[in-house]
Amino acid sequence: MDFALSEEHRMVQRIAREFAEKEVAPHIRENDEKGFFDRRLLDRMGELGLLGMCLPEKYGGGGLDYISLAVASEELERVDTSLRVVLSVHIGLCSLGILQWGTEDQRKRYLPDLAQGRRIGAFGLTEPNAGSDVAALEATAVRDGDEYVLNGEKTWISLADVADTFLVFAYTDKSKRHRGISAFIVERGFKGFSSSSIHGKLGVRAGNTGSLVLEDCRVPAANLLGEEGEGFKIAMSCLDNGRFTVAAGAVGLIQACIDASVKYANERRTFGVPLAEHQLVQRMIAHMVRDCEACRLLVYRAGWLKNRGERNTRETALAKWAATEASFRAASDAVQIHGAYGYCNEYPVERFLRNSKGAVIYEGSREILEIMVGQYALGLRRDKPIRRTLPGWPYEEEGGAGA
């Protein structure tokens, strides 16, 4: 059992860290305060290979493994959650979904542009009345010759106003409940498609979040992802990928809280001694360190399974639940350590606290994940084989993507 990062992993770590610290950190306080999403960051992430790192080389990707994706997610969220969200949505929820479920024609049409950042991907599942209860979707898709006509609204969609390619889920047969949901690759330019931004968010203010509206939106039948009725399976498999990056990012946020708290505790003096000498402060930081290292191992365990091409729903759910809960605690304690200064944006910990709350909710709320983990332990939930599993890594040893 080897816990050391490879030289390839360290290269990804170095690239992601330098990009985040040099090109994002100097502007993040202002961008967060103004609720400004810097579209140029996506172009830069594409240039650095971050947007296609774990897609196969045959589709223009970097051919890196899923531990690389975890390392990059951790490093980006150490600076700001909005950066990690890009990886979660563009790679985890969209690109890997097309890799896993797409036809060879769909992969060739979409993955090279997604891998290089010429297209940005997003994921349209949540609706105003459907979040954790996916079967409550109201969006519909009706076959009309060589097209499907989609109608409905999606909300809380990350990158809604900047993405070009969306995985959208809608009912093709509502009488079958979740077995009647299908998935579609929708392009921004399709007639009847529009988007808008959501303002006034508690956190992730430097990221773009919005709504999608589909009004008699005509989608070519060739853009059906998988088969009719497989949408629920597709969505859940995509969420395994997205949750993996959320968990890894939460580890980065915990690390950021440690870094900020250690720095402040060594600089600040109270009662005549450095804050660091107070045992209750030491205790809070010790808890952060414990959670950071434990959650990182949970993430790597899930990544190891993904590298082997094995189902990892349980392990990913556990990592996401544990890491996001721990990041919220760490951010709260970091604010406490900073005292009154932690309550204003002169220091980054107030942003860490606001950002950390979102991850406890999206891509599987803590309540849903807690139930899942309990059901696995009790034998009430077992993973069933799915028609297509995500290719293991390295891809060439698996006979190519989707083999």
Q: Find, among 101, 235, 236, 231, the residue nearest to 177 by Cα.
A: 231
**Residues in contact with 351: Cβ distance below 8 Å, sequence separation at least 6, in sequence order:** 28, 29, 32, 80, 203, 345
Q: How far apart are CA 137 and CA 140, in angstroms?
A: 8
Helix axes 25-34, 349-361, angle to 10 degrees: 70
* Secondary structure of residue 228 in the 3-state scheme: coil
The one-letter code for the residue type at 392 is: G
Q: Among all residues, which ones are annotated catalytic?
A: 363
Classify strands 121-124 and 165-171 as parallel, antiparallel or unpaired. Answer: parallel
> 3-state secondary structure string, 266-302?
HHCEECCEEHHHCHHHHHHHHHHHHHHHHHHHHHHHH
Tokens of 68: 């690389």
Please give the Cα distance from 363 to 360 (Å, whole number).
9
At what angle are helices 279-307 and 66-79 packed, to 10 degrees? 150
